[in-house]
Amino acid sequence: MAEIQVMIPSGDISLESSFEERPGRDAGVLLHPHPLYGGDMENNVVVTVKQGMNEKGWSTLRYNSRGVGKSGGSYDHGEGESRDLLHVVEHLREKLPGSRVHVAAYSFGAWVALKAIVEKDCTPESLLLVSPPVDFVSFEGLSLPSVPCLVIAGDMDDLCSPGSLKTWMKRALEDNEHAHLQFIGRCDHFFRGRESELLELVRQFAGKGSDRQ
């Protein structure tokens, strides 16, 4: 089934989104990288994650954050963006009653997703983070939820260095048996030319999620 364009209400603004329905019970909400640096839902990583989920029978909803594309509002330093995620998740749950809603987020989107999870009680079925920028913005007070989590990063990422990422994830890796960290070799923050490796990791993660009851 082809993607359809949907405007999702979030307070006094609407968010531009693209929704693709698939037959399975699982559905992923996809967040894009930093809007002030050109990030939007057409980003190569976001599109790759979407493809991997769709191939495993997951519906997907990717959206432009406030101030991007046709979305209303303006950049709000992560505060409005994290509230918006709550509205997007609720919209998807209403659109697909009984579905299991997962969150997948890249770079700045990972920071926004964690803020919504930790500060606003947004609890997804599982969480997939690609290159959370721990060397670019503060992740203090943010941690992985007690759900299946996969964090993917390149081992040459200046915004998400392996050392910083391992330090931030240390407690989660110790306390959550379902939290995993996967590096892609010779890969930087942008995954250009490395989309195939990322795609395979997403397929594996989505496949395991589809198997969970």
Q: Report residue 182: phi and psi, to 5°.
A: -135, 125
Q: DSSP letter at 33? A: S
**In angstroms, what CA-CA distances link 156 with 16, 54, 172?**
33, 28, 22
* pLDDT tens digits along 89-132: 999 999 999 999 999 999 999 999 999 999 999 999 999 999 99
Q: Could you tell me the residue range of the domain that residue 13 belongs to?
A: 4-211
pLDDT band (50, 70, 90) for residue 212: low
The set of residues, in sequence order, having a beta carbon less than 8 Å from that of 49 and lying 6+ positions away, is: 28, 30, 104, 106, 128, 130, 198, 202
Q: What is the pTM of this model?
A: 0.97
The 3-state DSSP class for residue 198 equals: helix
* pLDDT tens digits along 127-181: 999 999 999 999 999 999 999 999 999 999 999 999 999 999 999 999 989 999 9
Q: How far apart are CA 117 and CA 114, in angstroms?
A: 5
The 3-state DSSP class for residue 168 equals: helix
Chain centroid, CA 100 distance in Å = 15
Q: State what percent of residues in the chain have pLDDT above 90.
A: 95
Q: Report residue 155: phi and psi, to 5°.
A: -85, 5
| Whole-angstrom Cα Rg for the chain | 16
- How many domains does one find in the chain? 1
Indicate which CATH number applies to the domain containing 45. 3.40.50.1820
